[in-house]
Amino acid sequence: MEPVLLYDTTLRDGTQGENVNFSADEKVKIALRLDDIGIHYIEGGWPGSNPKDQQFFDLAKRVDFKHAKLVAFGSTRKPGTTPEKDENLKALLTSETPAVAIFGKSWDLHVEEVMDNTLPENLAMIGESVKFLKWNGREVIYDAEHFFDGYKNNREYALQTIAAACESGADFIVLCDTNGGTLPHEIESIISDVQKHLEEKGCKSPEGGAVKLGIHTHNDSGMAVANSITAVRTGAVMVHGTINGYGERCGNADLTSIIPILCLKMDRPCVTPDNLNQLKFVSRYVSETANLVPYNNRPFVGRSAFAHKGGIHVSAIMKVPRAYEHMDPELVGNERRVLVSDLSGKSNVVYKAKELGVELGNNGYDSKKIVSEIKNLEQEGYQFDAAEGSFKILMEKFTDRFKPLFELESFRVTIEKDRDKPCTASATVKISVEGKEEITAAEGYGPVSALDNALRKALDRFYPDLDTMRLVDFKVRVIDGTRGTAAKVRVLIESRDQERIWSTIGVSEDIIEASWQALADSFQFKLAKEEGARIGN
Ligand SMILES: [Zn+2]
């Protein structure tokens, strides 16, 4: 099958998404990751529009991409000038990228009512700009902005705009669903008509074959991926998208879905299997760099994409994973997860025990007994599918394998409020490790942070490697609001070190007690891991 060219615009269209920002340095690092997984074209930004993008292209001049072509993005020349005098086009050339993308208007509404321009001048702007860039030795990707809306409004004119780009030597004509309102069946019929029209007009690619079409979609109707895939099926050979679907409004087409669909389900070569299994890593890398929480339910690469909760599902996937999985998660670098919750059956516990290396049944605690204990705890408000760290400790307790790496003797927390000043909190913690006691005090922004600081200080004498660990999230939920102040609270703490993230849970009628449970589990989990590493376990 013919390969499909992947065109990533995370660094340009992606950064138009709310809360998505990258520094020039971060952009270079992301571009290198994209190059690593075999993206063919990386759109780095709009050098004519802001100094940060200009800085990125300056930095990128010193970078050797193994595979990808870097693309600078801009617009056609302004009305009433020449390409040679147009600052925008000049900035594209000074970026020194092998390829450039320029967008032009296809929708008469934009030309006449938004731009206050004339239809013929718009055609001249497209043709002259493409010619100018080709003359300067660039590969030219022409983005037909609002193509589908333009086509619906004035088919003849929309077709004239792309014919102008073709006749001037554009290497790719990319049809854009800029407003994201087009549906897959419309994409199919419009692209088919475009192909027919360009052929009838005798338009060719610069190599002499059929015009090479690309697709650029937005997700305002939840159709960005479906529309891209439909376009490829109809004959597009280039797909634009962003990692994690970041982009303006509802985002762009998500390459983390498009890539596995093309490779695994349509047999369209685009990246190698080795690159494909880096996909989850790249998705995380980009969300971490953007400082955005990754969506758990993102197809293919989300944490929950292959997570099984229902007992029937779990017993089935233990026999045949295919029974409840559309593909092997490892192909995209993801993993199968089994969740433990009140929907659990025995199979979940057996699977989980195996995963954690816990042997069941040695002390009379078989999977059936554990399931019933878990169900009791869940009645009390525990929820283990979101707290794998605490679940591991619980399983170890059930099977007499739990070795506490510290024990609490006592703690005291004081909170002080002085008029309208912010609260201050301090905590004293007394712990013992193998019979040796340690008592410390610390302050914090609130009671949990004070406890965290005091415990850390106390443990430091015994376990000096704790500075890589930090708390990243703290969630409190009232479980039974109908009982007023006697209602229980559930505290979930998420912690991380350089290698992994883990969650722990505490439940109590007292928020500090619940927080302590979750905090203590989090440190026990971290220390057990260090201890395991130390004794080569
Ligand atoms: Zn776009």
Question: Ligand 1 centre from 497 Cα, in Å?
Answer: 36
Question: Ligand 1 centre from 56 Cα, in Å?
Answer: 20
pLDDT score recorded for residue 349: 82
Asked which of 13-27, 118-132, 184-198, 492-506 is least confident by mean pLDDT, the reply is 492-506
Which DSSP category does 167 fall into?
Answer: H
Query: Of the candidates 89, 170, 84, which has an alpha carbon nearest to the alpha carbon of residue 127?
Result: 170
**197 pLDDT more than 80:** yes
pLDDT band at 375 (very low <50, low <70, confident <90, very high): confident
Q: In terms of C-beta density within 10 A (0-12 exposed, 13-18 middle, 19 or more buried), how is residue 308 classed? A: buried
pLDDT digits (tens, 9 = 90+) for 426-439: 999 999 999 999 99
Between the CA of residue 55 and those of 23, 27, 46, 506, what are the distances in Å?
9, 10, 11, 48
Instruction: Identify the three-state secondary structure at position 49.
Output: coil
Question: Ligand 1 centre from 390 Cα, in Å?
Answer: 44
**481 pLDDT more than 60:** no
Question: Ligand 1 centre from 238 Cα, in Å?
Answer: 14
Question: Ligand 1 centre from 235 Cα, in Å?
Answer: 20
CB 230 within 8 A of CB 188: yes
Segment 332-354 shows an average pLDDT of: 81
Question: Ligand 1 centre from 46 Cα, in Å?
Answer: 13
Question: Ligand 1 centre from 329 Cα, in Å?
Answer: 30
Question: Ligand 1 centre from 24 Cα, in Å?
Answer: 20
Question: Ligand 1 centre from 148 Cα, in Å?
Answer: 13
CB 278 within 8 A of CB 37: yes
pLDDT score recorded for residue 535: 47
Break the chain down into helix, strand, coil percent, rounded to 5.
45, 20, 35
Question: Ligand 1 centre from 249 Cα, in Å?
Answer: 10
Tell me phi and psi for residue 492, to 5 degrees: -115, 130
Tell me phi and psi for residue 315, to 5 degrees: -65, -30
> What's the CA gap between 318 and 346, in Å, rounded?
12
> What's the CA gap between 70 and 101, in Å, rounded?
10
pLDDT score recorded for residue 536: 40
Between the CA of residue 288 and those of 22, 26, 285, 510, what are the distances in Å?
11, 11, 5, 34
CB 296 within 8 A of CB 304: yes
pTM of the predicted structure, to 2 decimals: 0.79
Q: Is the dihedral of CA 292, 293, 297, 298 positive or negative?
A: positive
Record the tokens describing residue 90, joined without a space: 């000049």
Looking at per-residue pLDDT, the higher value among 359 and 377 belongs to 377
CB 374 within 8 A of CB 384: yes
pLDDT digits (tens, 9 = 90+) for 38-78: 999 999 999 988 888 999 999 999 999 999 999 999 999 99
Question: Ligand 1 centre from 447 Cα, in Å?
Answer: 46
**456 pLDDT more than 60:** yes
> What's the CA gap between 267 and 2, in Å, rounded?
9
**483 pLDDT more than 80:** no
Which DSSP category does 468 fall into?
Answer: G
